[in-house]
Amino acid sequence: MSKNKEFSDTSANRYSLALYELANESNSLQKIEENSQALLKLISGSKDFNNLIKDPTISRNVLNQLIEKISNNFKLEVLFKNFLSFLIIKRRFFYIQQILKNFNEICSEKRGELKAEIRSAKNLSQDEINKITQELSNNFKSEIKLNYTHDQSLIGGLVVQIGSIMVDTSIKKKLQQLETRMIEA
């Protein structure tokens, strides 16, 4: 791992933890978590916004004006808006996506939630996702925060991962195993 990568991971983790502690102290943790999820959704949904964040030539004034507009549109908490402005001042705004993802993970971890990833070949309905989440919660005796993605490349079945535990019932995996056995034979 390069030195810059370590620096960015360490910095992002520190900023995430600082945001968590500030939000917790001000009793606005839930609202700031909602704000961070909304901003992450905006970042992932807008290629232009994503590029703007990562552009080092954009001035601090332009970024602060942008944050002001976003704050007005999304009705961001004052603490969250100030945190974003602080990142701009310190020239760390390009870490915002990583910082907010880490922040959301910290929030989930502190609530005792487990993070689960599920990929399915078939588009699952919200009811099916809720049933899977409930079943996983019962099996792991913990609240599950499920991240669902539709993946047509699986051909059929699904892949569930919770921490280091992975269950792969996809047809793609079974075909790969069959291919491996045929090559070995």
Question: pLDDT for 111-148, tens place per residue?
Answer: 988 889 999 989 999 999 999 999 999 988 888 988 89
pTM, 2 dp:
0.72
Element (H, E) at 160: strand 158-162
Give the burial class of 178: count Cβ atoms within 10 A of its Cβ; 0-12 exposed, 13-18 middle, 19 or more buried.
Answer: exposed
CATH architecture for the domain at 3-109: Orthogonal Bundle (1.10)
Query: Could you count the other beta carbons within 10 Å of the beta carbon of residue 21?
Result: 12
List the 158-162 sheet strands across, edge first. Answer: 144-150, 114-120, 158-162, 165-168
Q: Spell out the domain ranges in the chain.
A: 3-109, 113-184
Instruction: Convert the pLDDT of each residue in 166-184 to its tens digit.
Output: 988 888 888 888 889 899 8
Per-residue pLDDT at 33: 96
d(CA 63, CA 84): 10
Residue 39 has pLDDT above 50, yes or no: yes
**Mean pLDDT throughout 91-102?**
93
Residues with Cβ within 8 Å of residue 33, at least 6 apart in sequence: 23, 103, 104, 107
Per-residue pLDDT at 173: 87
